[in-house]
């Protein structure tokens, strides 16, 4: 899901940065209004690290790559802060390992961050409809990968006709990743719901409502 430097035209790169900067400001303010961001730092750090490591195990498919993303998991557990976590993870990967690139951090964050935010809203809506949490987690994480592929393909197609065939290959390559992440997300959410449900953005019986929405 990492687009490399030197691939996209300048206008696409610029739009990616503009939208990412706006979303970083909006999500930070949103998270601050609905809770104490300082208390979320340990959880943010752990999940950012998981995202960082998972994204490093990749298969190159120029001009991008296929790998586990975990943006659905981050969306569910971090809510609006998932966008910040993914921006930090992508920046560290670009600086430390040249994975992706510095100029495209904005568009890469956009491609995976918006699906992460959507997965959070879908999780909240699904919980209110009483969908089993493990199943709901799997749906959200699979959906996040699907939406990420849609964003990536859209960016490549907009950038030039020469990327159309590559976009098709990337879409097919991420089908197994979508399935794997759905299983991972379902297992993680199901387990956390049993042992530490307060980490999920849902009301806890007999406790404080943790819904950030």
pLDDT tens digits, one per residue of 149-205: 999 888 888 887 777 877 788 788 788 889 989 999 999 999 999 999 988 988 766
Cβ-Cβ contacts under 8 Å for 154 (sequence gap 6 or more): none
User: pLDDT above 90 covers what percent of the chain?
Assistant: 53
* Confidence (pLDDT) at 62: 61
Question: How far is Cα of residue 153 from the mean position of the Cα atoms in its chain?
Answer: 16
* CA distance linking residue 53 with residue 168, whole number of Å: 26
Contacts of 184 (CB under 8 A, 6+ apart): 68, 70, 73, 141
pTM for the whole thing?
A: 0.87
DSSP state of 203: B
d(CA 16, CA 103): 10
Residue 60 in 3-state DSSP?
Answer: strand
Instruction: Please state, in angstroms and rounded to a whole number, the distance separating the CA atoms of residues 213 and 210.
Output: 9
Low-confidence ranges of the chain (pLDDT < 70): 1, 57-66, 204-213
pLDDT at site 54: 80
Q: Is 36 helix (H, G, I), strand (E, B) or coil?
A: coil
**Ramachandran category for residue 60: left, alpha or beta (phi over 0 → left; psi -120 to 50 → alpha):** beta
Look at the block and give the residue holding tokens 């992706």.
Answer: 100
**Between helices 81-97 and 10-33, what is the axis angle to 10°?**
130
Beta strands in the chain (DSSP E): 58-61, 64-67
Task: Report all structural domains of the chain as residue ranges with CATH numbers, in order of start.
Answer: 10-195 (1.10.1760.20)
Distance (Å, whole) CA 162 – CA 186: 37
Q: What is the pLDDT of residue 69?
A: 87
Q: Is 72:119 a contact under the CB 8 Å cutoff?
A: yes
Residue 211 pLDDT: 42
What's the pLDDT score for residue 87? 96
């Amino acid at each position: 899901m990492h687009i490399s430097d030197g691939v996209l035209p300048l206008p696409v790169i610029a739009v990616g940065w503009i939208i990412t900067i706006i979303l970083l400001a909006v999500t930070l303010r949103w998270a601050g209004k609905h809770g104490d961001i300082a208390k979320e730092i340990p959880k943010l750090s752990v999940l950012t690290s998981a995202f960082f490591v998972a994204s490093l195990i990749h298969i190159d498919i120029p001009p991008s790559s296929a790998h586990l993303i975990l943006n659905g998991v981050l969306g569910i557990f971090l809510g609006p802060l998932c966008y910040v976590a993914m921006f930090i993870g992508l920046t560290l990967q670009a600086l430390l390992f040249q994975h992706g690139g510095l100029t495209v951090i904005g568009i890469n964050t956009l491609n995976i961050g918006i699906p992460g935010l959507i997965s959070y809203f879908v999780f909240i809506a699904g919980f209110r409809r009483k969908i089993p949490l493990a199943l709901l987690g799997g749906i959200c994480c699979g959906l996040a990968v699907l939406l990420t592929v849609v964003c990536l393909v859209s960016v490549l197609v907009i950038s030039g006709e020469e990327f159309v065939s590559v976009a098709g290959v990337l879409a097919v390559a991420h089908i197994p990743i979508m399935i794997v992440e759905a299983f991972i997300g379902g297992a993680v959410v199901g387990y956390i719901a049993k042992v530490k449900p307060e980490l999920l953005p849902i009301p806890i019986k007999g406790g404080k409502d943790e819904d950030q929405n």
